[in-house]
């Protein structure tokens, strides 16, 4: 048996077979070949598969978002079969006697440049399509399509890295757990694993030879075991059973209220990344959804989700929650959550770059499409909306103007919508420091402790080498949370926490003493936090030191 120590994302056990997912090669290597005919054959095979994929995507998109919006896949198909593109690939393979990947990458570069230098805006925009089509071919040539894996049995996925867009597309029912070499404990991939309630380890040097072997993830110790013997499997099976028994016991709290021993009530909400996560929020009976990370509707796609597509998703969630509050966060694209069609360009410091509300304010049409979908869905449940990465008062004022325009537009078309509370995320030091002013503009605050920690401590949350420095309990972070709660309350603004710290039961009492009104956590943490709340007595003097800024 091989034993590998990693870092655990969720304290749970998984037992199953490994499916190895090869590292995606972002860098295409130029390789000399002796048989050019074989290389052309490989290219033609990839071409056929790409055409078939696009056909399926087109049909699916026609049904889900209509013919007009599905047309992008037809454009991609036309590009694939474009004679000039094909001739260029053939020429490079035969004249330079090189591999198909290299020929596709060079052709893609040339065509992209050609399109992007054109005057006509329509043709300029086609540069993105060239990239999409070429990436599809390159993925197929490397035999590396994760979505191409049809999982016939539940597996533990082992990969060099998983992007949030890949993670969100994984079939939850078929995924027992995953292990990756890259990725920090605070990355969105890690957060998604927690939200999806999936045992996962990072910092594991994964090996292709594990493919098909039996493995055990022990989330309690952060250990991966490959090829365990029968005895060990039995032992871990027993540990898993104990874990399930503990979960069953916690389930007795499912219908209990979120109230402390002295009678203080708190709103315990769940975080979701996709519509399918609502099932767990309902299973553990959360009082609402405090963070719907809507950007996941935008990831792993060829193009922007339409208003209709978004409306249906938001409406579905609102209806499933049957009158309980659903707080939708507008898209927080950027940094590690990227989608090619946004064409954001490369940035040196993406976490501090063109992301989240900054994109929405620069591209009001994208923003308004999402707001229209949210407001339309608000006629079907209790929807609130909040905005990520706020740093300044003017941003909030500008957002409110845009929201008013959207409401006017819907009203003029007699489209029904409900009363939508407006909130902002407090996740930058700037927003925390000016929270007194911001509180006068909105109905609620939701503190994003993941980013707040990153920006207060100047620690890149994506960098796994810095995990030991990423200390959300740092007094600077806790003092800011206390300060935000005070400023929010002075202006009659509700204050919640939706970052991962909200689920840290060693801090629950401290948060309650600060007067935090709402804790929104990954569904797997709902019952442990409920248990902690119900055991807390705020009537007694605290044994904990409060952060004492004020
Ligand atoms: C946060 O920053 O705490 C947060 C909840 O948002 P995200 O983790 O999606 O950046
Ligand atoms: Mg954030």
Q: Which atom of ligand 1 is nearest to the CA of 295?
A: 9
Q: From the DSSP assignment, how many helices (H) and strands (E) are in the chain?
A: 18, 16
Looking at the DSSP bridge assignments, the partners of residue 425 are 446
pLDDT, tens only, 423-462: 999 999 999 999 999 999 999 999 999 999 999 999 999 8
Distance 95 CA to ligand 1 centre (A): 51
Ligand nearest to the CA of 336: 1
d(CA 498, CA 519) in angstroms, rounded, equals 6
d(CA 284, CA 296) in angstroms, rounded, equals 23
The label of the residue with tokens 């950007």 reads 295
Q: Which atom of ligand 1 is nearest to the CA of 499?
A: 3
Question: Hey, whose CA ends up nearest to atom 3 of ligand 1?
Answer: 448
Structure confidence at residue 61 (pLDDT): 64
Which residues surround ligand 1 with Cβ inside 6 Å? 191, 291, 293, 332, 427, 448-451, 498-499
Q: Which atom of ligand 1 is nearest to the CA of 451?
A: 2
Among 330, 498, 503, residue to substitute to test ligand 1 (most atoms within 8 Å of Cβ): 498
Task: Please state whether 143 falls in left (phi above 0), alpha (psi between -120 and 50) or beta.
Answer: left
d(CA 359, CA 370) in angstroms, rounded, equals 13
* Nearby residues of 453 by Cβ (< 8 Å), 6 or more positions away: 186, 459, 461, 470, 471, 472, 474, 477, 499, 501
Among 167, 351, 499, residue to substitute to test ligand 1 (most atoms within 8 Å of Cβ): 499
- Catalytic residue numbers, as ranges: 188, 498
pLDDT, tens only, 229-240: 999 999 999 999
Q: Which residues surround ligand 2, an ion (CB under 5 A)?
A: 427, 448, 451
Question: Hey, whose CA ends up nearest to atom 10 of ligand 1?
Answer: 451
Q: Is residue 452 within 8 Å of residue 463, measured between CB atoms?
A: no
Residues 232, 234, 235, 241, Cα dihedral to 10° = 150
Among 190, 387, 427, residue to substitute to test ligand 1 (most atoms within 8 Å of Cβ): 427
Structure confidence at residue 17 (pLDDT): 95
Structure confidence at residue 151 (pLDDT): 58
Structure confidence at residue 304 (pLDDT): 93
Distance 426 CA to ligand 2 centre (A): 9
pLDDT, tens only, 469-513: 999 999 999 999 999 999 999 999 999 999 999 999 999 999 999
250 burial via Cβ count (<10 Å: 0-12, 13-18, 19+): middle
Distance 497 CA to ligand 2 centre (A): 11
Distance 162 CA to ligand 1 centre (A): 18
Q: Which atom of ligand 1 is nearest to the CA of 454?
A: 2
Structure confidence at residue 123 (pLDDT): 76
Q: Which helix (H) or strand (E) holds 159?
A: strand 155-159
Q: Is residue 530 within 8 Å of residue 258, measured between CB atoms?
A: yes
Token pair listed for 32:
């000399």
Distance 451 CA to ligand 2 centre (A): 5
Residues of the chain where predicted confidence (pLDDT) is lower than 70: 22-27, 60-61, 63-66, 68-70, 121, 125, 143-152, 165, 168-169, 542-550
């Amino acid at each position: 048996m091989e034993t590998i120590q990693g870092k655990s994302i969720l304290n749970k056990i998984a037992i199953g077979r490994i499916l190895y997912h090869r590292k995606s090669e972002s860098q295409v290597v130029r390789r000399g070949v002796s048989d050019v005919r074989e290389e052309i054959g490989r290219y033609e095979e990839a071409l056929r598969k790409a055409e078939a994929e696009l056909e399926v995507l087109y049909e699916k998109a026609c049904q889900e978002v209509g013919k007009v919006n599905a047309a992008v896949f037809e454009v991609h198909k036309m590009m694939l079969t474009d004679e000039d593109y094909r001739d260029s690939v053939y020429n490079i393979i035969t004249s330079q006697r090189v591999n198909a990947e290299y020929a596709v990458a060079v052709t893609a570069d040339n065509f992209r440049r050609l399109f992007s230098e054109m005057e006509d805006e329509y043709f300029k925009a086609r540069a993105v399509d060239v990239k999409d089509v070429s990436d599809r071919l390159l993925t197929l040539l490397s035999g590396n399509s994760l979505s191409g894996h049809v999982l016939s049995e539940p597996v533990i996925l082992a990969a060099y890295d998983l992007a949030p867009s890949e993670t969100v597309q994984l079939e939850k029912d078929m995924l027992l757990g995953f292990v990756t070499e890259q990725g920090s404990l605070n990355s969105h991939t890690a957060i998604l694993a927690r939200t999806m309630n999936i045992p996962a380890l990072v910092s594991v040097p994964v090996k292709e030879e594990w493919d098909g072997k039996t493995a055990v993830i022990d989330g309690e110790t952060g250990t991966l075991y490959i090829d365990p013997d029968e005895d060990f499997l039995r032992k871990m099976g027993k540990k898993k059973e104990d874990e399930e028994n503990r979960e069953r016991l916690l389930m007795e709290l499912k219908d209990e209220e979120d109230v402390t021993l002295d009678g203080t009530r708190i709103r315990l909400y769940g975080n979701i990344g996709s519509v399918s996560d609502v099932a767990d929020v309902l299973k553990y009976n959360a009082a609402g959804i405090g963070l719907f990370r809507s950007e996941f509707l935008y990831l792993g796609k060829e193009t922007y989700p339409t208003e209709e597509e978004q409306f249906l998703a938001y409406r579905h969630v609102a209806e499933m929650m049957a009158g309980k509050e659903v707080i939708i966060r507008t898209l927080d694209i950027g940094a590690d959550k990227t989608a090619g069609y946004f064409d954001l360009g490369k940035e040196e410091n993406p976490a501090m770059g063109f992301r989240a509300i900054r994109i929405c304010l620069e591209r009001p049409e994208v923003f308004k499409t999402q707001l229209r979908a949210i407001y339309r869905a608000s006629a079907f449940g209790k929807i609130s909306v909040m905005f990520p990465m706020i740093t300044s008062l003017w941003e909030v004022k500008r957002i409110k103007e845009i929201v008013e325009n959207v409401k006017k537009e819907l009203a003029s078309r007699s489209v029904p919508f409900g009363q939508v509370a407006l909130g902002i995320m407090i996740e930058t030091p700037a927003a925390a420091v000016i929270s007194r002013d911001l509180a006068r503009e909105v109905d609620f605050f939701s503190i994003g402790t993941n980013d707040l920690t990153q920006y207060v401590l100047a620690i890149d949350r994506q960098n796994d080498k810095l995990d030991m420095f990423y200390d959300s309990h740092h007094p600077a972070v806790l003092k800011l949370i206390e300060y935000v709660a005070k400023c929010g309350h002075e202006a009659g603004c509700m204050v919640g926490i939706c970052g991962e710290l909200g689920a840290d039961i060693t801090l629950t009492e401290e948060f309650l003493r600060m007067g935090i009104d709402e804790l929104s956590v990954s569904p797997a943490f709902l019952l442990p936090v409920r248990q902690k709340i119900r055991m807390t007595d705020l009537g007694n003097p605290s044994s904990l030191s409060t952060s004492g800024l004020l």
